[in-house]
Amino acid sequence: MSEFQDVTDSLKRALEEAAREALIAHFGKLGLQFSNLHPTIRAIMERAAISTGDAARQVESFVRLVAMADQFNLTDEQKEYALVKAYEQHGERLAESEEVGGSGLDARSPPRPIRP
């Protein structure tokens, strides 16, 4: 492995850890634990927080999405499924955005809810 790759990997790990810590702190302010979220949601939120540099906005988007899901008469399992699917789609848009120049525009938009 080249020295450049070592530096790049170290930087990537540092960014991931910083994003994770920021998300943990912002969720903690709401009395919620980031670690209790579905792994897919956590991973995509971390990527979006890195892309935008705004963990607080990612948490706000998550809270809005949960509030939207609560408007429907869904079981907890159905809500979780809808949230995971919304974040999977959000992750796909993030990946596309990163591929076409890393504008991060999609990362600023909250995940779109899945209609039941």
The pLDDT value recorded for residue 114 is 57
The pLDDT value recorded for residue 106 is 47
The pLDDT value recorded for residue 109 is 59
Give the dihedral sign, CA 89/91/97/100.
negative
Residue 62: half-sphere exposure toward Cβ, Cα within 13 Å: 26
**How far lies 41's CA from each of 4, 38, 48, 82, in Å?**
30, 5, 10, 11
69 vs 109, higher pLDDT: 69
| Residue 95 DSSP code | H
Query: Which secondary structure element, helix H or strand E, spans residue 64, and what is its range?
Result: helix 55-70
Other C-beta atoms lying within 10 Å of the C-beta of residue 101: 8
Q: What is the mean pLDDT of residues 37-42?
A: 97
The pLDDT value recorded for residue 13 is 94
Above 60 in pLDDT, residue 108?
Answer: no
Taking only the tens place, the pLDDT of each residue in 68-97 is: 999 999 999 999 999 999 999 999 999 888
- The SS3 assignment for 110 reads coil
The pLDDT value recorded for residue 2 is 85
Domains in the chain: boundaries: 3-108
Task: List, in order, residues 6 or more apart from 58 with CB less than 8 Å away.
Answer: 23, 26, 45, 48, 49, 52
